[in-house]
């Protein structure tokens, strides 16, 4: 192939995207509770040690693009859209009104708001720092985010605490930091109750998001399970308002099985919100688009969530790769992430109604025929052949992922 002139490259990408097929209409995409974060679309491709590769882009354009794609919900950090110095001031409300107008014009809803408690230098020692002034400021910030959330009609508030100021072990007392962190969550919940009452709206669902490591050193609440223990610790004044926003990759990063982590959250009734993306075990937070690394695991995750009637948001917390252009972000990155999610979700429905998986599962649950009070040997023998079904089910899941169950075969 000859080198492709710059002015023909977008057309090439668009033509090949079209040739890929398998995309859904914006109307279909809007039927799913999929949210697009402001920060994901605005991510300029900068990484530790690496310069940005894309120009800046504001919320007006992002909302227009999300609407065109069919992403019906939007989420934002306070400082993604409001300069830190304007927070809580009149200038903030002017921006919030502009956001409201842009949401209305594009038919996009604000589903979630979140407070940035990690990027600004004020958080150098975390939002639960020793200095009372920093903690008061954190309380102001989360309360202010609650106000913005109610104003924009959000149903969820998320808290990713960043690193909680934990560079050096022994320099802080972890129990102090956790108490102080709880105070900020309590301030948000108390403000929420007040505003919800004034506005006649339901209170927000407050969701804690864990990440095991990065960008700094040790993390006080590294996993969703740690967050569950924190919610149940007695430190929160309104534990019933607080649940989880697990992120698929954050669980994978510490070596967990995301599906098992989600199962524990479901059992606790705390799976409120879910950040969807992909990546690699025991590495940094690469935030690759859903299904590009672990599509089979994703299928299994969605089977679990569909089986248990999860109906919260699926938040596209991924980062379009540094190699993707601004054009590519909205022509390739977001639509394909949404479409892979929809395909996997619908496939999960196929798994649930698949007669082979169903019969195999029923047989496993029925167990082998055995006399009452049989001992270990007899029980082992009675179930021996049935247990092969575990592998058969795993094979069937792969077949469904690959479309083999619909008769796709390879002749050799």
**What does the alpha-carbon distance between residue 329 and residue 340 come to, in Å, rounded to a whole number?**
15
Residue closer to Mg ion, measured from CB, 92 or 315? 315
Q: Judged by CB under 5 A, does residue 80 bind Mg ion? A: no
Closest distance to ligand 3MF from the beta carbon of 238 (Å): 19
What sign has the CA pseudo-torsion 382, 385, 388, 393? negative
Residue closer to ligand 3MF, measured from CB, 23 or 114? 114
Give, in order, the Cα–Cα distances in Å from 45 to each of 10, 194, 286, 351.
19, 39, 11, 37
Q: What is the CA radius of gyration of the chain?
A: 23
Residue closer to Mg ion, measured from CB, 317 or 354? 317
Nearest to 29 by CA among 334, 351, 347, 288: 334
Q: Judged by CB under 6 A, does residue 334 bind ligand 3MF? A: no
Q: Judged by CB under 5 A, does residue 339 bind Mg ion? A: no
Closest distance to ligand 3MF from the beta carbon of 365 (Å): 37
Q: Judged by CB under 6 A, does residue 206 bind ligand 3MF? A: no
Q: Judged by CB under 6 A, does residue 331 bind ligand 3MF? A: no
Q: Rule CB under 5 A: which of 237-266 touch Mg ion?
A: 247
DSSP 271-307: B--EE--B--TTS----BPTTSS-HHHHHHHHHHHHH
Give the one entry of ligand 3MF, Mg ion, none that residue 135 binds, where binding means its C-beta sits below a cut-off of 5 to 8 angstroms depending on kind.
Answer: none
Q: Judged by CB under 5 A, does residue 317 bind Mg ion? A: yes
Residue closer to ligand 3MF, measured from CB, 127 or 291? 127
Give the one entry of ligand 3MF, Mg ion, none that residue 74 binds, where binding means its C-beta sits below a cut-off of 5 to 8 angstroms depending on kind.
Answer: none
Order of strands, sheet of 156-159, starting from the edge strand that comes earlier in the sequence = 242-244, 205-208, 156-159, 109-114, 73-77, 34-37, 314-315, 274-275
Residue closer to Mg ion, measured from CB, 54 or 211? 211
Q: What binding mask, one character per residue, do residues 298-317 give for ligand 3MF by CB under 6 A, x or -?
A: -------------------x
**What does the alpha-carbon distance between residue 110 and residue 151 come to, in Å, rounded to a whole number?**
10
Contact 279, 249 (CB under 8 A): yes
Q: Which residue has the tokens 């089986």?
A: 307
**What does the alpha-carbon distance between residue 287 and residue 280 come to, in Å, rounded to a whole number?**
9
Annotated catalytic sites, by residue? 77, 80
Nearest to 39 by CA among 249, 283, 319: 319
Q: Exposed e or buried b for every residue in 337-361, given b needs 16+ CB within 10 A? A: bbbbbbbbbebbeebeebeebeebe
Closest distance to ligand 3MF from the beta carbon of 394 (Å): 30
Q: Exposed e or buried b for every residue in 23-47, given b needs 16+ CB within 10 A? A: bbebeebbebbbbbbbbbbbbbbee
Q: Judged by CB under 5 A, does residue 78 bind Mg ion? A: no
Give the one entry of Mg ion, ligand 3MF, none that residue 181 binds, where binding means its C-beta sits below a cut-off of 5 to 8 angstroms depending on kind.
Answer: none
The pair of structure tokens assigned to 250 is 């954050």
Q: Rule CB under 6 A: which of 276-295 touch ligand 3MF?
A: 285
Q: Judged by CB under 6 A, does residue 275 bind ligand 3MF? A: yes
Give the one entry of ligand 3MF, Mg ion, none that residue 114 binds, where binding means its C-beta sits below a cut-off of 5 to 8 angstroms depending on kind.
Answer: ligand 3MF
Q: Judged by CB under 6 A, does residue 114 bind ligand 3MF? A: yes
**What does the alpha-carbon distance between residue 375 and residue 37 come to, in Å, rounded to a whole number?**
56
Contact 95, 151 (CB under 8 A): no
Q: Judged by CB under 6 A, does residue 209 bind ligand 3MF? A: yes
Q: What residues have CB less than 8 Å from 136, skipping those under 6 apart?
A: none
Closest distance to Mg ion from the beta carbon of 35 (Å): 11
Closest distance to ligand 3MF from the beta carbon of 75 (Å): 8
Q: Judged by CB under 6 A, does residue 211 bind ligand 3MF? A: yes
Closest distance to Mg ion from the beta carbon of 287 (Å): 5
Residue closer to ligand 3MF, measured from CB, 276 or 347? 276
Q: Which residue has the tokens 């710059």?
A: 6
Nearest to 313 by CA among 341, 340, 335: 341
Judged by CB under 5 A, which of 192, 285, 339, 354 binds Mg ion? Answer: 285
Residue closer to ligand 3MF, measured from CB, 114 or 336? 114
Number of residues in contact with ligand 3MF, rule: CB under 6 A?
10
Which positions lie near ligand 3MF, rule CB under 6 A? Answer: 39, 114, 158, 160, 209, 211, 247, 275, 285, 317
Which residues in this chain contact Mg ion in the complex, by CB under 5 A? 247, 275, 285, 317
């Amino acid at each position: 192939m000859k080198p492709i002139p710059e002015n023909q490259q977008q057309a090439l990408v668009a033509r090949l995207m079209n040739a890929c097929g398998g995309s859904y209409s914006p109307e279909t995409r809007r039927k799913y509770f999929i949210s697009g974060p402001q920060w994901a679309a605005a991510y300029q491709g900068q990484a530790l040690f690496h310069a940005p590769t894309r120009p800046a882009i504001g919320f007006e354009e992002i909302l227009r693009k999300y609407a065109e794609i069919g992403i019906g919900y939007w989420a934002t950090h306070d400082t993604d859209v409001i300069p830190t110095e304007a927070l809580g001031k009149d200038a903030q409300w002017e921006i919030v009104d502009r956001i409201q107008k842009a949401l209305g014009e594009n038919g996009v809803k604000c589903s979630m708001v979140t407070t940035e408690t990690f990027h600004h230098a004020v958080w150098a020692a975390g939002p639960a720092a020793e200095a009372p002034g920093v903690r008061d400021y954190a309380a102001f910030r989360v309360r202010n985010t609650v106000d913005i959330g109610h104003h924009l009609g959000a149903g969820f508030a998320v808290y990713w605490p960043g690193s909680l100021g934990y560079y050096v072990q022994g320099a802080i007392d972890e129990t102090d930091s956790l108490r102080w962190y709880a105070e900020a969550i309590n301030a948000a919940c108390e403000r929420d109750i007040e505003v919800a009452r004034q506005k006649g709206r339901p209170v927000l669902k407050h969701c804690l998001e864990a990440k095991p490591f990065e960008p700094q050193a040790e993390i006080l609440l590294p996993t969703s399970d740690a967050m569950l223990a924190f919610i149940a610790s007695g430190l929160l004044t309104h534990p019933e308002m607080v649940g989880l926003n697990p992120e698929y990759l954050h669980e994978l990063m510490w070596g967990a099985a995301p599906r098992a982590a989600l199962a524990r959250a479901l059992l606790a009734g705390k799976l409120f919100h879910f950040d969807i993306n992909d990546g690699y075990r025991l590495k940094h937070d690469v935030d690759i688009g859903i299904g590009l690394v672990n599509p089979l695991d994703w299928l299994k995750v969605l089977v679990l969530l569909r089986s248990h009637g999860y109906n919260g948001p699926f938040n596209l917390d991924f980062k379009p790769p540094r190699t993707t252009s601004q054009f590519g972000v909205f022509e390739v990155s977001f639509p394909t992430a949404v479409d892979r999610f929809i395909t996997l979700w619908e496939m999960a429905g196929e798994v649930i109604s698949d007669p082979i998986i169903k019969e195999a599962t029923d047989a496993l649950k029925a167990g082998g025929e055995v006399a009452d009070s049989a001992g270990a040997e007899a029980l082992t023998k009675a179930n021996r052949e049935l247990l092969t079904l575990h592998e058969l089910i795993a094979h069937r899941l792969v077949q469904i992922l690959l479309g083999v169950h619909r008769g796709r075969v390879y002749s050799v």
